[in-house]
Amino acid sequence: MNFEVDDLQVIELDMMDKRKYYPLTFASGMTIRTLLYPVTLVKTRLQIQKGHTIYKGTFDAFVKIARNEGLSGLYRGFWVSCLQLFPSMAYISTYEGTRHYLMKNTSVTNSKTRSFIAGGSASVVGQTLSVPLDIITQHLMLMGRRKTGSSDISSEKVQKKLSSLQKLEISDEAKKRRFGAVSAVIREVYKRNGLLGFYKGYFVSLTVFAPNSALWWFFYDSYSDMLASIAPAFVPRLVLQVVSGPLSGISAAVITNPLDLIRARMQVDGTSFSNTVKILWQEERFWIVTKGLTARLVQSVMFSFFIILGYETIKRWSLLDEYKQQVRW
């Protein structure tokens, strides 16, 4: 016996207790960010390096960073990145609010269409708040740090190559201090481009993340419905959803990866869109389609799995009493 597609019910905003939903969502976001931050750092370094001058690939990057910089190297810039939780809360609030508004006040009743529109709208709000934090965090990710007590020559070579990717003039003393590095990056970005420097690549970020977000939620609803139509009745709905999440992440990441690469380069190098594309073409040719894609897919699959596991579980925990019997796990 199979599910009917309509059985895979979407839990809407008005079905939940907001006093439970938002605190649990914040805690879930913090946990997921802590788990996945090293993958984000590796992806950023792979995107910024020229060719394979420092790291040969995702696995090689993990090994070299862990060996040369220690565990703390994989979390360089993490505490600044944690501020992204506030844009993330604005993102999910916009997504849920837009879906609810479209259902109640417009003729847009198709769940996939509402998800597509809400996902794109949420990304605009989220990116407006998060781009300055992205820029600061990316510069911190490129600083690296020497592992305590390490005097390995190969480690020194990696650090020199990594430092060459950093376009800001940050003193070695500032790099060694956690908050000194943050304040130094903020000062240098402001000195180079003023307040607009913190929104470098904003529009290209929108061209990456708005479609990525819209596509992700569209694919998520599509895969959920497809799996629901073929899965046996005894399979929990949550299982179908945590499978749909990574599939959605893969689909959206493959489509938008070249733009994500351009965005990262623009924000770190401070170059224009056209110059960035020209430089990337000279360096990578057709490899710009796949540069950093493996790390991005790993990040996207892991992020999608954990975010949906947390997101859908929290929605069920937050259900108002009158809806608890209507939603199956």
The answer on pLDDT for 112 being more than 80 is yes
Close Cβ partners of 285 (under 8 Å, ≥ 6 residues apart): none
What is the pLDDT averaged over residues 279-289?
76
- Given 3-state DSSP classes, what are the helix, strand and coil percentages for the chain, each rounded to the nearest 5? 80, 0, 20
Higher-scoring residue by pLDDT: 299, 147: 299
Average pLDDT, the chain: 81
Q: For 167-196, give the DSSP string.
A: -S---HHHHHSHHHHHHHHHHHHHHHHGGG
The answer on pLDDT for 244 being more than 90 is yes
Residues forming a β-bridge with 2: 232
pLDDT at 84: 84
270 in Cβ contact with 167 (< 8 Å): yes
Question: If pLDDT is split at 50, 70 and 90, which confidence band does 231 have?
Answer: confident
pTM for this prediction: 0.70
221 in Cβ contact with 171 (< 8 Å): no
What Rg, from alpha-carbon coordinates, does the chain have? Answer: 21
265 in Cβ contact with 271 (< 8 Å): yes
The answer on pLDDT for 225 being more than 60 is yes
Q: What are the boundaries of each domain within the chain?
A: 5-323
Burial 146-167 (b: 16+ CB within 10 A, else e): bbeeeeeeebeebbeebeebbb
Which two structure tokens, joined as six digits, stand for 190? 């402001």
Task: Quickly name the fold that domain 5-323 has.
Answer: Mitochondrial carrier fold (1.50.40)
pLDDT at 153: 54
167 in Cβ contact with 269 (< 8 Å): yes
* pLDDT tens digit sequence for 195-212: 888 887 788 778 778 888
**Largest Cα span, the chain:** 66
* pLDDT tens digit sequence for 298-316: 888 888 898 889 888 888 8
